Every structure is written in structure tokens, then in C-alpha cells.
Amino acid sequence: MRLIRGGRLCLAALAGVGALASVAVMATQDVAGATGSGGTLYVSSTGQDTGTCRASAHPCATIAYAITQASPSATIDVGSGTYPQQLVINKSLSIVGTGGHVTVDPSTLAASDTDSDSSTPQYAIVDVTSGANVTMSNLVVDGTNAQSQFTGCGDDFVGVYYHDSSGALKSSTVENVELSPSLFGCQDGLGVYVASDAGDLSSVKLTGDTVKAYDKNGITCDDAGTSCTVNTTTVTGVGPTSLIAQNGIQGYATGSLKLNGDTVSADSYTTPGYPSYQATGLLVIDVASLSASSNTLSANDINAYLGSDGTGPAPGTWTFSGNTVTGATDNVPGGEAGYGDGVQVDSTTNPVYLTGNVVKGSAENGIITLGASNVTLQGNTTNQNTGDGIDLGAPASYSVSTTPSSHDTVSGNTSKSNGLDGILAEAGTTANTITGNTAKSNVRYDLEDRGSGNTWTSNACKPAFDSNRPGLCS
């Protein structure tokens, strides 16, 4: 995780690469749904790019050509095969893979778009541009053949880009959006990117997708006008690497982020000396509305980071509930401060609800608040974490907050068999309420209070009275 200060992560500029290979669709834009009166067009790898593509017996050969023939709200039916074209779409339609393995894998990309957060050109395999509503399903978007055209950090490589546009990606795979190993640290290579310019809107839903073998981020949702819903999608990083701190799913200064039933794993950075460059499974900063439920986050340096740096829309209510959070990693040789937490809540003052989660096996703490207030931790289970099960903490070196956590509520949680404390309130914490929790079989103390003015009531310890200061156990 690179904590972002005023824009998406580190995107710079390189000279133009490659010949123009895209088809820019310049038809009238349509903000209606992506299916409907536009009829069906047919594409087959054995077809010909002539005519209207309207007869299944006479399909055209490329998706790009079919787009030029499609009227708004048409459906493009794509047969099995590999289609080596960049797709730039600015009309509302659907693209449906119906014939088995349908792969979009161009060997050359043109600079197809801009970035809402910088002047860096975007080289997207599939680019849904302003005002379009595009649904895509049963496709494989593959960056393998385009990788070799990138020779520096100046051009952004994107798999699927929704820019000031809307739609859905269903039952599809986005993979191999990577630079060469020598360029892997360029903060480039986004599997799916949804972004909105100031005053514009983007709304995208991902369902049942697979995103893997990306360079920087699997799924990126940025900007105040952006709404992302991600359901039953699997996002997998490259595993431990010294080249880059990856993020599985990122929401930065985003209007709305909803996650349900997703699996995010294997984002881990191994280079020592950079405590603010952890990799994360879920990275949330200044999102106006967050709902994350029933997700599985595992084997990321920080499985979930929820924080505020004050640069985005004012955060509203965040809920993180019913998630399974396991095996947060610290793969830096000798260990690295700040790595290995299951869930970090950093510098927030908006209402944050962490409820009913299972957090276990972290290389450091299960759940930690870092200079955060108004956080409710209720009904969570934190087991077998190397550090504390629940830690009400002071700010980290990368935190915006300068004061320890206060006015948080910790109730009805179970914290057991952790390597340090079951529940710890660190030095400087104050005005936190810790009530009705069960803590047992933790190595150092079940309950420990190093702060002042925190309230402890009705907490059960096993063995009884296992607290520092005495009297925290009921």
C-alpha cells in the first residue's frame, strides 16, 4: 500500500509506443441500458469484416468491426476464438461471449484515453468512454501480447477501463496486465479501472469475475463520481515480490464501494524499510460510502486497510461485516513494522462498523485502530494472531492522525489464543468503551490498558483476573 496523497498511484509519462490498432467508435452516445432495441450482431473468428454482421450465417471477423456496425443498445454475440483488437467503445451495447473461450488479446495498443487524476495517457485493452453504458460477459481480457510495447513508466497499461461511463462486467477474466519485471515497480498495470472526471459519473458492477496477474492493482475505483459494486469476484496478486506493493481492490476518494462475497489474496511486498508501502487486499481511503460483507481476505500484508487522508469526499458510514480475514503476511526478511495486520482502521473520524468478522492467523495484530475514533468493533472473533487480537492504538508513521484512538466502542467480541494481548488499549488512548467481551488463553494478558479514561465493564477473562491493570476482568 502506498498511502496516496492527491491522486492515483505514481503514474508518469513515456513517449508514444506502437501503431494505431484500435477502432474508436464515434457513433451517437446512448445512456439507455446496454441491451434492447439495437438487435443482435454476430462475430466469429472465421467471419469477414463486411456487411452489417446481422445474420448469424454471415458473421463479421472482429469485435471492433461489429462495434462500428452496431446501433445503440445492440448485443454483439461473439463466438469462440482470440480477437487481437483494442476495443474503444463510446456507445451503449452488450458484448457477450457465447461460443466458449473468447479472448481479447491485442498485440499493440494505442493511447485510447486520459486519466482523471493525471495527464498520463491510458493504454486500455477495453476502453468504455464517456457516456456509454456497456455490459460485457464471458470474455477473457488478456494483456500478454501487449506487454512488450511498454518500455518505461510513462504510459498506463489497463485491462478494462470505464471512464465517465457505466455498465457491468460478468463472468469474465482480466489477466496479464503486467509490465516486464524490470518495469514492475512503475506503479502501473491495472486490471480493472473505474474513474470519473470532476462533475461526471461512473457506475460499474462486477459479478463472478476473475482478476489476476496484474502489476499494481486488481480492481481500482477512484474519484467522487464513481460507484463500484463487486460481487463474488476473485482477485489474486502475484504473491510475495520485492518489485511492487500491490493492492487487490482499491477505493480512493470514491463515491460508493460495495463488496460482497469476494475473495482477495496474495498481495505481498518483501522489500524492507518502507513501512508505508505495504501491499493490501482491500485499500479504502476517503470513500463516501463503504459496505464490505461476506468477503474472504487472505495472505495480504494488510488484509484490509480502511483509512482517511482528508483529500477525498467526506467519508460517511463504513460497514465491514461478516468477513473472513486470515493469514495477513509479513514477508519482509526479519519483519517490518506495520505489516501483518488483519484489519487496520487508520485516522478515521467517520462512523466505522466492524461487526461479525473472523480475523485469525495474522503475522501481527488481528484488528488495530491507528488514531481512529468513532469505530465500533462488535461481535468479532480474533484468534491466533501473533500480536494482539484487538489493539486500540496510537497513530503509525504513515497516519494522518496525530492522536491515539479515542471514543471507540469494543463490545461482544471474542479474542483468544493471541500471541500478546486479547484486547489492548495503548498508551495515550482515552474515552474508549470496552464492554461485554470474552478474552481467554492469550499469551501476555487477556485485557491490558496503558491509556487513561477508558471504560472497561463486564468483560470475561480466562484465567480469571488476567489483566493489566488489575480489575479489568469481571
Q: Which residues contact 196 (CB under 8 A, 6 or more apart)?
A: 116, 163, 164, 202, 222, 223, 224, 225, 226, 255
Residue 27 C-alpha cell reads as 457513433
Averaged pLDDT in 10-residue chunks for the chain of 474 residues: 34 27 33 56 97 97 98 97 97 94 96 90 97 98 96 94 98 96 90 97 98 97 97 98 96 97 98 84 98 98 96 92 98 90 97 98 98 98 98 94 98 98 98 98 98 98 95 95
The whole-angstrom separation of Cα 113 and Cα 121 is 6
The whole-angstrom separation of Cα 224 and Cα 205 is 16
User: All domains of the chain, ordered by start, with CATH?
Assistant: 90-468 (2.160.20.10)
pLDDT, position 37? 62
Residue 435 has, within 13 A of its CA and on its CB side, a CA count of 9
For residue 173, report the phi and psi dihedrals to the nearest 5 degrees.
Answer: -120, 135
**Beta strands per DSSP E along 270-312:** 280-285, 289-293, 296-298, 302-307
The whole-angstrom separation of Cα 228 and Cα 234 is 15
Q: Is 348 helix (H, G, I), strand (E, B) or coil?
A: coil
The whole-angstrom separation of Cα 473 and Cα 59 is 74
Residue 119 C-alpha cell reads as 495527464
Residue 323 and residue 345 in contact, taking contact as beta carbons nearer than 8 Å: no
Sign of CA dihedral 308, 295, 204, 141: positive
DSSP string, 182-224: GGTTSS--EEEEEE--TT--EEEEEES-EEEEESSEEEEEEST
The whole-angstrom separation of Cα 442 and Cα 418 is 5
